[in-house]
Homo-oligomer: A and B are copies of this chain.
Amino acid sequence: MKKGDKLVTEITARDEDFARWYTDIVKKAELVDYSSVRGCCVLRPYGYAIWEHIQRILDAEFKRLGHENVMMPMFIPESLLQREKDHVEGFAPEVAWVTHGGDEELTERLCVRPTSEVLFCDHYANIIESWRDLPKLYNQWCSVVRWEKSTRPFLRTAEFLWQEGHTMHETAEEAIEETERMLNVYADFAEGQLAMPVLRGEKTDREKFAGAERTYTIEAMMHDGKALQSGTSHYFGDGFARAFNIQFTDRNNQLAYPHQTSWGLSTRIIGGIIMTHGDDSGLVLPPAVAPIQVVILPIAFHRGGVLEKAREVQAQLQAAGLRVKLDDSDASPGWKFAEYEMKGIPLRVEIGPRDLEQGSCIVVPRDSREKLSVPLDRLAEVLPQLLEDYRLRLYARALQNREKNTFTALTMEEILAFAAAGNGFLKTMWCKEAACEEQMKEQAGLTSRCMPLAQEQLGECCPICQKPAKVMVVWGRAY
């Protein structure tokens, strides 16, 4: 048996069982392995490399906007977690508790951070004294732990990797501006780099982050019509600052509390990439985060010159800044085609003896599978354009899926009809009362995804209670 032959096994069809299709892909594309640790996965080289590209792109953007990276401890003493009331209520039920160090019982329990607001506040209290110390624009890349009951790779795991930005500002206006700015950084990244269209919106009170005054979110629609919350940005006002007694001398020489934000994006987004773009042959990766953008397959390369030419092409493409793999193993072309489709590599380049005679090669985009003949001496110039075309197609296809599965309801009857028919986004007006939101959950099984920043006026009344509507909401079922 040739190496890897075992990998080319069928995966479940996407429309037959989407959940199993997903699980098959994360295993067969070698993104993760299950571990002996409850609810935790191993990120394998191919999966972790996607995260490294996400990190590289976002980190550069955060720094361009003036943010600095730091590292806080991974533990939070129980008394520190309890300092802000809403926050501890939200997180205490799902944290892991360290009670012993070696053989000794600790005098105070420590939780493994589920998020680090309180750690940043504890530090900010030490270093913020004057308005000249503001803003503080900090970020950290780390893992956090939330003791989830049921877990799925990338989407919901007890431990996951993320970045968390935590900033402090002189004024509420400046902090709100930061909250919105970072939401847009996430949205632009998702749409521009990952080819995932997203709704930008605000969470309802029921769905917002524990301790936040406002939570903004980007919501993507997966291929099956379900929603994925893909990044969030929170405005805290001065609530934590008061709880942690963080005060500064303002420009009028008065003591004041700074205004705070936090924002995070996690490895969950990799689940979003899989469920937005993947198909029945496996992964389909957006070029910006694909560990390999181009795979070169020399065909019948025992014949003179093929392998040499393939290596020359690889060097040229790498010099042009592309991430290129050349597979000159003795596996069959059929196996290689299937393997690199499973891995979601955007472009496949086939070079055989006949191509060589004609001075050209065949390029096959992962999504369209169209066979394009490209002159060998123009590859370095053509492939970047083909990658860009491919990215635009991925985006257009995902947008089309979202539009096809987005509906509007003016009455409860229409809402229930939508809920019975399947998944998707449902737009309705809403009175902003928690009772109506609860009723949506109980009667229709829908949760509010967000109140989009781009509001539409669909009517005057809340379709649930008939009282005057205040806002348009998008509802759905979420991962």
Query: Which residues of A does B touch, CB under 8 Å?
Result: 3, 33, 35-38, 40-45, 48-49, 51-52, 68-77, 80, 92-103, 110, 112, 119, 122-123, 126-127, 130, 132-133, 138, 142-143, 145, 147, 158-159, 161
Contact = CB atoms under 8 A, between A and B. Distances in A.
B123 A98 contact: no
A159 B74 CA distance: 8
A126 B75 contact: no
A71 B32 CA distance: 9
Given A3-B130, A35-B122, A147-B101, A70 B48 contact: yes
Residue with the highest number of chain B CB atoms closer than 10 Å, among A37, A100, A130: A37
Given A48-B69, A70-B45, A77-B36, A96 B93 contact: no
**Is chain A's binding surface mostly helix, strand, loop or mixed?**
mixed
Nearest to A40: B73
Contacts of A43: 70-71
Contact of A35 (B40, B72, B94): B72
A260 B138 CA distance: 39
Given A33-B123, A127-B33, A98 B73 contact: no
Contacts of A74: 40, 74, 112, 143, 145, 159
Contact of A75 (B37, B99, B127, B133): B37
A69 B49 contact: yes
Sorted from nearest, which 4 A-B pairs have the closest CB atoms?
A: A40-B73, A45-B68, A101-B147, A43-B71
Contacts of A97: 98-101
B96 A37 contact: no
18 contacts: A3-B132, A3-B133, A35-B73, A35-B119, A37-B76, A38-B77, A40-B73, A40-B75, A42-B73, A43-B70, A51-B71, A74-B74, A95-B101, A96-B98, A96-B101, A97-B98, A102-B147, A112-B112
A52 B37 contact: no
A102 B100 CA distance: 16
State how many copies of this chain the complex holds. 2
Given A37-B119, A42-B119, 8 more contacts: A37-B75, A42-B123, A43-B70, A45-B69, A48-B71, A49-B69, A94-B102, A97-B100
Given A74-B159, A100-B96, A52 B69 contact: yes
Contacts of A130: 3
A190 to B, nearest CB: 22
Contact of A102 (B76, B93, B119, B133): B93
A161 B101 CA distance: 19
A143 B44 CA distance: 18
Contacts of A122: 35-36
B33 A71 contact: no
Contacts of A145: 74
Contact of A161 (B71, B100, B102): B71
A36 B113 CA distance: 14
Contacts of A75: 37, 40, 96, 159
Contacts of A41: 73
A425 B119 CA distance: 41
Contacts of A44: 70
Contacts of A102: 92-95, 147
Nearest to A142: B143
Contacts of A103: 93
Contacts of A159: 73-75
Max chain B Cβ within 10 angstroms of own Cβ: one of A73, A98, A99? A73
A104 B69 CA distance: 35
A100 B110 CA distance: 11
Contacts of A68: 45, 48-49
A325 to B, nearest CB: 13
A115 B100 CA distance: 18
Nearest to A52: B69
Contacts of A51: 71
Contacts of A127: 33
Given A99-B100, A102-B95, A159-B75, A80 B36 contact: yes
A61 to B, nearest CB: 16
A112 B98 contact: yes
A35 B119 CA distance: 8
A159 B110 CA distance: 13
